[in-house]
Amino acid sequence: MNENLLRTLRCPISLELFTDPVIAQDGYTYERAAIKSWWARRRRINAEGQIKSPMTGQVLCSATVIPNLAGNMDKLGLVSDHVNTKLLESSANRHWTNISLSFINFFCCICLVIYFILNQDSSLVSSI
């Protein structure tokens, strides 16, 4: 994967790949644990107890975050696109291409199941 794609899959605070991406009131996506920890540390330092954006420094009204499900799906899509590209590049002939495409479809199903398991939505997993 190129560096720009990897940058979009990483938390701007921890620089780790997202596993639980959330959107804060500043509109940026962060890893849940990283943003909560960042705010907790800054509140102890800041005498007013203000919550500020790590990206803009602006005071936020609240520490409420919402899950960024689109971020999770984008991550799965980018990973499967990367696998798709690499498999197709390594295919020597049409026979191998067909096998590779079948593998990619299987891989995408596995990605979706893992996504739903990680987000603890077992009702969706059981219907697949």
CATH number for the domain that contains residue 23: 3.30.40.10
Q: How far is CA 40 from CA 51, 86, 98, 120, in A?
A: 9, 42, 51, 26
Q: Which residues pair with 29 in a beta bridge?
A: 23
Contact 13, 7 (CB under 8 A): no
Contacts of 38 (CB under 8 A, 6+ apart): 13, 30, 54
What range defines the domain where residue 45 resides? 1-77
Count of domains for the chain: 1
The verdict on residue 87 lying in a domain is no
Average the pLDDT over each of 5-9, 79-83, 106-110 and give the range with the smallest value: 79-83
pLDDT of residue 92: 42
The verdict on residue 28 lying in a domain is yes
The verdict on residue 105 lying in a domain is no
pLDDT surpasses 90 at 13: yes
- pLDDT tens per residue, range 56-80: 989 888 888 998 876 555 555 555 5
pLDDT of residue 3: 75
